[in-house]
Structure 1
Amino acid sequence: MRKILVVDDDKHILELVSIHVTQSGYQVLKAENGIQALGILENELLDLAIVDVMMPGLNGYELTKKIRNDRDIPVLLLTAKGELEDKEKGFLAGSDDYIVKPFEPKELLYRIAAILRRYDKPTDTMLQVGSILINRKRFEVAAGASTLLLPLKEFELLSLLASKPNQVFERATIMEKIWGYDYEGDEQTLTTHIKRIRERLAKIANDVEISTVRGVGYKLEVHHS
């Protein structure tokens, strides 16, 4: 079960958010201020933090900076302000998204799910698929004596497909995981990246290829000789 930390000095908002998040199947830990939140972060492995901006003492921006400096978990900011400057401060602090109070519970839950999907990427440092070895720490793809250095998006895309060989990834899912749910480009971008990766793989490995599942998406297949 995913663990979510909710931090808000307004007990009513804290309880309201916690109820909706719990009802959606997440485990919730609550903190009434930034100091309490840091204590929980020291002892718990969390998947997401929902942080109110306007808190006494350690405010939401400062807490977000501390979280992002010490933990690789996403942060969703709760703010009563919708001005561009406040949004900018949040993103500069390291937040992944924000939601303006008052908000609909459905929108909050949608944003939580969207953030968690974006963070649900392969975490293994090394991925072996057929004859290719993907080194996620060095951003290298090797097969035998050949090594590829791919552009970042191509590397992330290949790593995603390689994380579950032979599993079909829907186009929309790939777009969201690699480019983010608010990406405003079109799907031709994905098609172009797939084409480039195919061309690169063909030069170093003949047992691994990206297959198109018409009308659905793509999968990475391994051919055993």
Structure 2
Amino acid sequence: MRILIIEDEIKSAEYLKKGLGDSGFQVEVANDGIDGLFIAQSNDFDLLILDVMLPGIDGWGVIRRFRERSQVPVLFLTARDAVEDRVKGLELGADDYLIKPFSYAELLARVRTLLRRTPMRQQDIVEMADLEVDMRKRRALRGGQRIDLTNQEFALLQLLLQHQGEVLSRSQIASQVWDMNFDSDTNVVDVAIRRLRAKIDDAFAVKLIQTVRGMGYRIEAPLP
């Protein structure tokens, strides 16, 4: 999913871009309100992360004009913590408001929450860390290396990526990949995950497929 960050603090913008990129998002950055508004209106994004204090046009002006043409979620990220500022941002159409300084983990949680509220667009290319998956051509690359997957392995990887960051239970996976009811005595899901992990993760330092004990599995890039 695509995110636009409009932030004039260069280091903060680059930190967010790297973190969100490593978490599987496609990220672009603008460092002033004029460029940010133009990029936001000229491209399809799934989320805007918007600072208030911007050169050119401030965040209030950006969201006011952006809301004339789009209902894409907007997360305000700013040091302005007065109640009246938060109220103003929400009244202008912001979907959430996060005060600086913030933890990256909280930002990521809020980003995912906002994105879950909107219908997911089917992407042709999904990237996470150095994994690249072409959904249309059903092709996967890791670190530039082609990974050969069976139809069921690709379906499993596709399901995990469509719900990246979310824990999927064995029954959810079984019902969507194999169209079967999960039997607790059957280890088909665990075996499939183990085979997929052998191809996707074993030869690489960064592990993407994670086991959440007692709950299920998820795919997620580690926090920077």
Task: Give TM-score, length-normalised by structure 1.
Answer: 0.52
Deviation at 1:34, TM superposition (A): 1.2
Aligned to 2:107: 108
SS in 2 for 1:69: coil
What's 2:14 paired with? 15
| Residue 94 of structure 2: aligned partner | 95
Question: Within 5 A, what are the aligned runs for 1:26-175?
Answer: 26-120=25-119
- Partner Cα separation in structure 1 for residue 35 and residue 81 of structure 2: 26
What is the rounded CA distance, in whole Å, between the counterparts of 2:24 and 2:11 in structure 1?
A: 21
8 Å Cα contact 2:41-2:66 kept in structure 1: no
RMSD value, Cα: 1.5
Distance in 2 (alpha carbons) for counterparts of 1:61 and 1:15: 22
In proportion to residue count, which structure has more helix? Answer: 1
Structure 2 counterpart SS, 1:72: coil
- 1:45 maps to amino acid: D
Deviations 1:80-112 (A, max 9, x none): 022211100110111000110010000000000
- In 1, Cα distance between equivalents of 2:70 and 2:32: 18
In the TM superposition, residue 71 of structure 1 has moved relative to its aligned partner by 1.3
Off by >3 Å, runs of 4+ in structure 1: none
Cα 1:121–1:18 shift into 2, 3 Å: closer
- Structure 2: stretches of 5+ with no match in the other structure: 122-224
1:32 offset after TM fit, Å? Answer: 0.5
* Aligned-partner Cα distance in 1 for 2:54–2:36: 12
Shift of residue 121, structure 1, vs aligned partner: 7.8
Q: Deviations over 1:99-144 (max 9, x none)?
A: 100100000000000011112389xxxxxxxxxxxxxxxxxxxxxx
Q: Quote how far apart the aligned CAs of 1:75 are.
A: 0.4
Aligned to 2:24: 25
Q: Is the 8 A contact 1:5 1:50 kept in 2?
A: yes
Note the C-alpha offset of 1:12: 0.9
- d(CA) in 2 for partners of 1:18, 1:109: 12
Q: Is the 1:62–1:93 Cα contact (8 Å) retained in structure 2?
A: no
Q: 3-state SS of the aligned residue for 1:70?
A: coil
- Tell me how far apart the structure 1 counterparts of residues 41 and 49 of structure 2 sit (CA, whole Å): 16
Contact 2:77 2:98 in 1 (8 A): yes
Q: Distance in 2 between matches of 1:57 and 1:42?
A: 16
What 5-or-longer segments of structure 1 have no aligned partner?
123-225
Counterparts of 1:17 and 1:70, CA distance in 2: 26
- Distance across 1 between alignment mates of 2:32 and 2:49: 12
Higher relative contact order (CA 8 A, sep 6+): 2
CA distance in 2, matches of 1:31, 1:67: 15
SS in 1 for 2:68: helix
- 2:20 touches 2:27 (CA, 8 Å); kept in 1? yes
Percent sequence identity is 39
CA distance in 1, matches of 2:59, 2:40: 15
Task: Confirm or deny that 1:5 pairs with 2:4.
Answer: yes
Question: Number of paired residues?
Answer: 121
